[in-house]
Each structure stands twice: as structure tokens, then as C-alpha cells.
Structure 1
């Protein structure tokens, strides 16, 4: 087994080295440095990173933030990033993997102090924009990153219940267009300000031979904030976080597919909660397909079921009770990494397994269910991507001639091989499908 793994690894290293000149698809590997500080089996070390690198074309280190007073880029974990030299430890890997580009990401839902400062940055004018640009370029250069990723924390669409009664989806759309769901009345102004900032960043970074990428976070309305034709020439990549359309936190009373590839018809679902819709939105605005990467989550979202939720598990599941209990490794309510999900499947050591329901159409995704018991406890419903569905999405990216795929993130894949013995099964499945 070890020799097979080594052989596969060497082959992929050679393929990755070749892809710089052959134009092979991108494999964007997000790395949330929070994983380095987790404990036990969830702790992601430098050796794990090095094993993953044989599959990656880009690594995006998350996350930095901005100073709310000066609008300069700054570390939000100085102890790890600087005192423990984690920035430098990661970029030092470039010596052994020169074909990989390492970018530093700002935002990403990790910069939690005065979250409205990202909008305020846009409003603050040219002088503040210049401070942000210069500080970003300085930090990227100082720690030997190859560029900057903008994962800006912009206002999100308000969650809304769209299932159940007939016509409820139309009511939601009507509210949306009449203003009930407007989260930013100045979005058109902010779009123009963001366009100017991205253009200036692109010019400054290009002159310094640095990359600039954009990550569109889940439930950020692209049409409100991104003038796609205007900003695309300034960006090297656009990564669409096409998942978490529904989550237990945003939608505590009903569970549904969190990242379907195509629209799931019926039950008055909203038509834009799927990968294909989001991708087509950018393609229809003449953004080059080769600049677009679709995002796949290496984790699942888990709802707690009630006795009223029924026992079929078929989505849309009603009468859920918000996020399920935290997993032993990730310790986050409503979120389970791939290893945690896989270990909940039927196996000799699992007395209360979930029932796995596959998607033979490859359109919507897999889910797992365990109905609530007579005491209204132990019920759980999980929507997730597994290696098979991730492979299907990678195939979609190839068929659309997209830039590639972005995995969010390395630290939540089964990097220890706890489930089947295969380390990084999500990452490997995506990479294999991108190359064949």
C-alpha cells in the first residue's frame, strides 16, 4: 500500500510540474491555519501539508484581516503567524515545491472584530485604499507569498424559508425585489468602490509580479458587489465558494442540500442555490472560464432532527432543531469534517450509525440521516460532498473548461486516513478527475 501511495504521489508531482506549461486545471488548496492549532486527531501539521502539496497548484493561507482604524492588512493571529513563524514555515515549502503558488487570504469569515470594516474600507476613499494596497503588498512580500486573495466579508443575503406552502418561493423572490431582503441599500455605490479598489490592487500587484485572486464567500450576492466584466482583467483567479447555500445556523428549522450541482426541483426551492447557477452568472458576464474555479467543501453541515422530522430523511426535511452537536474532532456545532461523517456510517464499532443516501444522478449530492428516537434525541441529518460527488463536480469543471476546483479546506479533509486508510480522499478524488 505504501509503495502504491508513493508511486501515485510521484506521478502527481510530475503531472503538477508539467501543468505550468501545459495549462492543466487548477487545484486550489485552501489552508485555514486554525487547523494547525486544533488538538488531537484534528491537528493539521506541516507534514500533512507537505503530503497535500503533491496535489495542489495553489495554496491559499487563511486568514489575515484589516485594521479597522487604518485599513491596513494585518495578522489576526500574530502569535502563530509571526511569533511562531507559521507564515514563513508555509512559504518555505516553496523551495521544494517551486511549481506551487502560495497566496495570503484576507477575510474569510475569520476577521471578527468590527466586521463592517470591509464595507467601511470601500467607503473610506482613495487614501485608505492606498494604505490597504501598500500594506498588503508589503506583508505578502515580507513573508514570501506569491500574491493576495480577497475573501472579503461583505454583507450576506438574509436567510429565508422558501419551502412548505405553495407559492412560498415566489413570495421570497417578490420580497427580494421589493426590498424586504435588501441587506445593503448602498450596494450599487459599494460595487463601484470595490471595482476601483480591485483595479488599483491589480495594477500594483501586477507591477510587482504578484498574483491577485478573488474569493466570493457563500451567500454574498455577486450581482450586488462584483462588476464582473470590469474586475476580471485585474484578477488572476476567481474562486466561487459554491456551498453552504443552506446551513443549520441560517436555516435552523429545515434541512436541504447545502451544495447541489444543479437546481433541485420541487418543494418551492430557490433556483439559485446551486453550483451551476452561480457559475453561469459569471460566465454570462463574459468572464473567461479559465479564470473561474468552483469551490467544494471538505466538510458537511449537520442538523438536529426532531420526532416531527419524520424518518425518511428525504429533503426538504422540516421541523429540524438547528445545528447538530459538535463532532469530537472539529468541535463546531453543525459542522463535521469528512472523517467524522465517514466514521458515522455503518461499521462494527458504531452502535448508532447513520443511513447513507447516495445520489445516482450526480446532480444534488449525498446525505445521511438518523431519525430521532422515542425521547426525541439522537436525530441527525447531514448534507455533504464525499469523494464521489467531489469527483463529479471536478468533471463538471472540466466539461465547462473552467480554471479548476478550489477545496475548502485541506484541514477538514480526512488527512489522516481515518476512514479508509487513504489520506486526503477528497483532494485526491478531485485531482484525479481534473487530470483524466
Structure 2
């Protein structure tokens, strides 16, 4: 009897200790997205990626897509085939606490803008297409050793709300009283219901495998239209909020402003901030331990023109996306090292090589921006709202204060992979990790 009691007490201690360990991890989860769209060499990608993994609880590999005819999962890593899948999941051999998930969609899969032609909506509409998707998910997880999947579902986007100031803003509000809102999806209620059905069916198929399922809410997707929060929370392990890109130079080409503020900014749509989105989800669920805050490792840039002025203080008039960086090769998008190098550039340089002027936010509410006014020929102007190590740490502290599960970094390839900024490699990721360490 005494031996049985000792065994019972020991067993109970193990369970309690394990639960405490899980709670501690939940309080400071770091989800590391890794988008391989610019990767051409698998071995080089793995070598650059490996040093970051000591700071990640989850590695979310992106992205896979959906075949529009068969509704099966397909690789979007054209040229790499499926070799990269095996290479990515094999990283668990060295980092045995790491969980590797495959992300589906993520705004990387080509689909139509119109709801009636969107394959992500069409898949939801009947059981056979959902089963085809689920069966292919099971096959990929088993074949390549993923620990689960991330559903970064590509619902239709809300149209941009044009940012204005002063009297123009007042006129816009007046006009909106008489303007009909555009219909994003006439069958949104049905798709909302069927998305829950898909998650329910996925959960049932993944449970016997012990697989994890997360959901990423992409920027400008209406949770009210497409996401039935309460049942979704019951079916997924984590909900990752992509709380950034509230403005982009493609959606809002003529107005540059903060792209990922924590709190509402004057002269800014009151819903375009992290706190608004987090509060929406907290109002609809008490499961704060499942909510994860998304943080970018990049900046969005606009072209400054003569009308932009010289102060750089947002909002400013802009002339479309800024010049592409040498790494991103995408207009309007700069990685963290592309920005930090320009901030510390030799002040004697001119033209496109001229340095950026950095403007920090002492209130920790809105973020950091940098700019370079046009030169005497009205050229080379640029304005960029971006994430840096300090602002990323501020957001980790915010996530902790709101009792969220953790932070998701979008994504590792945009962080300082080679240490160009002078703070070692992966300085944004490390700043998030160090911010959480203070609370342990």
C-alpha cells in the first residue's frame, strides 16, 4: 500500500511538473516563420537557418498551396521540389524541442481576387474537395515528418480604407454615409460555416497522428465575415494574428504612415493597430493562451516626392512603392538589414546610396520610421515604416502584458541573417527572446 502511495504521489508530481513546464512555454512561445520564396540552394538555406532555431519553439515553414483542380496540397517551392521539406524537418534531430509545421496559403499561393473564383473558398463548398485536401495533408505530414500544419487561409481581403487628414477626412466620412460598402463575398456566411467544418474534419484526422494545428489570420481578412471565433478556438492549438501591414504601398500608394502600430494613431483608421485586433479576439474568447502576436522583420517603403515635405512626420503624401532592396527585390519592401545599413550609411554618400534619417518613438506606441527627402532634382526620396530589435521587444512585452501565448516572427529570412547590423545574427529574433526572458 505504501509503495502504491509513493508511486501515485510521484506520478502526480510528474504530471503537475509537466503542466507547469507547458505553461511556462505557453507564456513565451516564439513562432518562427520561414518563407523560402527567395531560396535557390537548400544546403545554404539550412546553414543560414540553423543558428536561429535555438530561439524558436515552433518553425512554421512556408508556404504550400492548393491545386485548383484536385484540391490537394502542392509545393510552392518551384525548383526545390519536396527536397526542402525533408531538409527542414530533419532540423528536429539537432533541436529536439522544436516543432515544425507546414503553412498553407499565406498570401503566397496564386488565386483569383474575385470570391467566386477563389480556390480557397471553392474548396470549402463540398465534402469531397475538403476530403481531398485533408488526405493530402495527412500524406505530407507522414511522408516528411512535419509536426502539424498552419492554416494561413487566403480569404478575400477587405478593400483599402483610404487615409486622409483634416478637411478631406471629414468629407470622406460624410460621403461614406451615402456610399454602399463593397460586397467582398456574397456567400461569406456559408464559407464561414464551412471553414469551421474543414477545421473540425482536420482536427479529427490529425488527432490520431498527434499533430498540431495552428491558424494564421492574414492581414486585411475580416474575422467578422469569415471566422466563427468560438468553434475555431476549440479546434486549433494556436491562433496567430498577423498584426502588421495595416497600410502598404500597394494598397495605399499615395499616403505613407505607420504600418504596424501597437495603439491607434491620430489621422489613422482606428482599427489599424495591434491593440484593436487583439481586443477583438479577447472580446470573443477567453483563451488568451491560444493567441499569438505577429511581428514583422521588415519595413514597408514609399517613394517620397516634392509634396511629401522635408519633416518625414506621417502621414505624408507619397508617390507609390519605394525602390526594391537588393535582397527583397520587391518594390515597397525592405528587410531589416537593408534598412539598418542605410541608417548607418556614410553621410557623404549621395543618390540612392545616401543615408536614411531614423525617427524613433519614445512612447513605444507607434513604431519607428526612417526617411530620405528628395534631392535637388526631386529624386531618391523614400519613407519606410519598419520593425527593429527595440520595437519587436516592445511588442513581446505587450504580448506578455496581455497574457498572450507568445510572438510570431514574419519571417526569419527578413531578419539580420548574416549580422550586417552589428548586433550579431537574427537581432530581431533575439530581442524577442530576451524580452521574454525577463519575465521568467
Q: How far 1:431 sits from its partner (Å)? A: 0.8
Unaligned residue ranges in structure 2 (runs of 5+): 1-19
Summarize deviations over 1:145-179 as a string: whole Å, max 9, x none: 00011111111111121312437378469849964
Residue in 1 aligned with 2:32?
A: 29
- State the shift of 1:281 in Å: 0.7
Q: Taking structure 1 as reference, are residues 236 and 159 closer, same or farther at Cα in structure 2, changes over 3 Å only?
A: same
Compute the displacement of 1:72 (Å): 1.1
CA contact (8 A) 1:20 1:99 kept: no
Matching residue of 1:12 = none
| Residue in structure 2 matched with residue 57 of structure 1 by the alignment | 57
Equivalent in the alignment of 2:427:
425
- Which entry has the higher C-alpha Rg, 1 or 2? 2
Structure 1 residues 282 and 350, CA gap change in structure 2 (3 angstroms): farther
Change in 2 beyond 3 A, CA 1:407/1:173: farther
- Say whether the 8 Å CA contact 1:252–1:322 is kept in structure 2: yes
Structure 1: stretches of 5+ with no match in the other structure:
1-17
> Match for residue 413 of structure 1?
415
Q: Do 2:163 and 2:255's aligned partners in 1 also have CA atoms closer than 8 Å? A: no
Instruction: Please give the residue correspondences for 1:69-148 in structure 2 after superposition, counting only pairs within 5 Å.
Output: 69-77=69-77, 79-82=79-82, 85-114=83-112, 116-123=118-125, 125-148=126-149
Task: Report the number of matched residues.
Answer: 410
CA contact (8 A) 2:347 2:355 kept: no
Residue aligned with 1:86, SS: helix
- Whole-Å separation in 1 of the counterparts to 2:383 and 2:44: 27
Aligned to 1:10: none
Write out the 4+ residue segments of structure 1 that deviate beyond 6 Å after TM superposition.
Answer: none
CA gap 1:169/1:343 in 2 versus in 1, 3 angstroms: farther
| Normalised TM-score (structure 2) | 0.89
Q: In the TM superposition, what is the alpha-carbon distance from 1:190 to its structure 2 partner?
A: 1.1
2:11 alignment partner in structure 1: none
Distance 2:274 2:106 in 1: 19
In structure 2, the CA distance between the partners of 1:307 and 1:242, relative to structure 1 (3 Å rule), is: same
In structure 2, the CA distance between the partners of 1:179 and 1:127, relative to structure 1 (3 Å rule), is farther
State whether residues 40 and 79 of structure 2, in contact with CA within 8 Å, keep that contact through their aligned partners in structure 1. Answer: no
Shift of residue 394, structure 1, vs aligned partner: 0.1
Query: What is the Cα deviation at residue 278 of structure 1?
Result: 0.5
Aligned twin of 1:4: none
- Residues 5-47 of structure 1 deviation map (CA, whole Å, 9 limit, x = unaligned): xxxxxxxxxxxxx9557334110000011242289xxx96212
Displacement after TM superposition at 1:51 (Å): 0.1
Matches within 5 A, 1:159-170: 159-166=160-167, 168=169
**Matches of 1:328 and 1:167, distance apart in 2:** 37
- 1:61 match: secondary structure: strand
The 8 Å contact of residues 176 and 182 in structure 1, kept in 2 or not, is answered as: no
CA distance in 2, matches of 1:399, 1:22: 15
Give the 5 Å matches for 1:39-54.
Answer: 45-54=45-54
Query: What residue number does 2:218 align with?
Result: 217
- Contact residue 229 and residue 287 of structure 1 kept, 8 A: no
Residue 31 of structure 1 aligns to a residue whose secondary structure is: strand
Following superposition, the deviation at residue 341 of structure 1 comes to 0.2
Q: 1:326 to 1:388 in 2, by over 3 A?
A: same
TM-superposed CA distance for 1:55, in Å, is 0.2
Instruction: Give the corresponding residue for 2:300.
Output: 301
Q: Distance in 1 between matches of 2:177 and 2:89?
A: 44
Aligned position for 2:239: 238
- Range with bigger deviation, 109-118 or 143-152: 109-118
Match of 1:333 among 325, 331, 334: 331
Q: 1:67 & 1:114 partners in 2: Cα distance?
A: 13
- RMSD across aligned positions (CA): 2.1
1:137 & 1:309 partners in 2: Cα distance?
52
Conservation of the 8 A alpha-carbon contact between 1:228 and 1:287: no
Instruction: String of CA shifts for 1:318-344, please: whole Å, max 9, x gaps.
Output: 2x1111111112111010000000011
Q: What residue number does 1:382 align with?
A: 384
Q: Is the 8 A contact 1:162 1:172 kept in 2?
A: no
Q: TM-score, normalised by structure 1?
A: 0.89
1:89, 1:283 → 2: CA distance?
38
C-alpha separation between the residues in 2 aligned to 1:167 and 1:327? 33
1:185 CA displacement? 2.2
Matches of 1:349 and 1:201, distance apart in 2: 56
Q: Is the Cα–Cα contact under 8 Å of residues 296 and 387 in structure 2 kept in the other structure?
A: yes
